């Protein structure tokens, strides 16, 4: 069975966004070590799960990034050159959008999951693939996945910032087993956990 992995940025005081979803606390200037780690994590999956509220911004951002890449290799900045392969994966990987309100997908390379969250995720986990599944958000969708014990591996990237108020993904007690923690040069620390079931 495929594993469902959560990759999410958070603050040291446990928030994944400001009160209105603000992300101005995130560390954007990533060091090479964290870029390499995230690339390896991304290469271990071939399917992306998204909540409906997050999908439009996510798909639009990565699609625009890929479409607006200059054709001339020499016009690319070093950062654009390094980010393009990741952006291409975000566009090319199949995306499954969990929704109760949409009847058809508005985005390329996406399909809708409209049924019971547990049944839908378990069906995806049982699909024939040698790669895993990843979820990036949004906060309410991830909270539902956690409540239903559907996430197998947590990759929480703790940014060196505290905001004292905001969105969280935990609604109730959840116990974890630490797999590893990795400090990166840019100040972010990865906390990799598995849930204790």
Q: What is the pLDDT of residues 35-68, one digit of tens each?
A: 999 999 999 999 999 999 889 889 888 888 888 8
Q: Which helix H or strand E contains 64, and what residues bound it?
A: helix 52-67
CATH of the domain at 104: 3.40.430.10
With contact defined as beta carbons under 8 Å apart, do 28 and 75 qualify?
A: no
Q: What domain count does the chain have?
A: 1
> What gap in Å lies between CA 88 and CA 77, rounded to an integer?
17
Mean pLDDT computed over 187-191: 98
Domain of 46, in residue numbers: 4-195
Q: In what order do the strands lie in the sheet with 153-159?
A: 110-113, 95-98, 45-51, 132-137, 4-11, 153-159, 189-195, 176-183
Q: Which residue in 107, 99, 129 sits closest to 4, CA to CA? A: 129
Kindly report the number of other CB atoms within 10 A of residue 190's CB atom.
19
Look at strands 110-113 and 95-98 and give their pairing. Answer: parallel
pTM across the whole model: 0.91
Report in angstroms the alpha-carbon separations of 110 from 122, 123, 146, 149.
18, 16, 23, 24
**Which phi and psi (to 5°) does residue 105 adopt?**
-75, 135
Q: Which residue in 161, 168, 160 sits closest to 187, CA to CA? A: 160
Q: What is the pLDDT of residues 108-134, one digit of tens each?
A: 899 999 999 999 999 999 999 999 999
Q: Which helix H or strand E contains 78, and what residues bound it?
A: helix 78-92
**Per-residue b/e over 36-61, b at no fewer than 16 CB within 10 Å?**
ebbeebbeebbbbbbbbbbbeebbee
Asked if the model's pLDDT at residue 94 lies above 60, the reply is yes
> What gap in Å lies between CA 122 and CA 133, rounded to an integer?
11
């Amino acid at each position: 069975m495929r594993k469902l992995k959560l990759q999410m940025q958070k603050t040291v005081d446990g928030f994944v966004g400001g009160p209105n979803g603000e992300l101005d606390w995130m560390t954007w200037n990533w060091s090479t070590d964290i870029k390499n780690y995230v690339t390896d994590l991304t290469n271990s999956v071939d399917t992306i799960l998204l909540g409906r509220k997050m999908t439009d911004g996510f798909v639009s951002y990565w699609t625009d990034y890929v479409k607006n890449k200059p054709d001339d290799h020499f016009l690319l900045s070093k950062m654009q050159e390094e980010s393009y392969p990741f952006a291409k994966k975000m566009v090319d990987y199949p995306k499954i959008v969990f929704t109760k309100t949409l009847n058809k997908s508005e985005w390329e390379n996406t399909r809708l999951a409209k049924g019971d969250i547990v049944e839908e995720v378990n069906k995806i986990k049982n699909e024939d693939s040698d790669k895993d599944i990843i979820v990036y958000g949004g906060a309410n969708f991830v909270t539902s996945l956690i409540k239903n014990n559907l996430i197998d591996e947590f990759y929480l990237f703790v940014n060196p910032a505290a905001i004292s108020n905001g969105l969280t993904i935990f609604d109730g007690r959840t116990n974890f087993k630490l797999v590893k923690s990795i400090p990166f040069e840019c100040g972010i620390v990865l906390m990799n956990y598995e849930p204790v079931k």
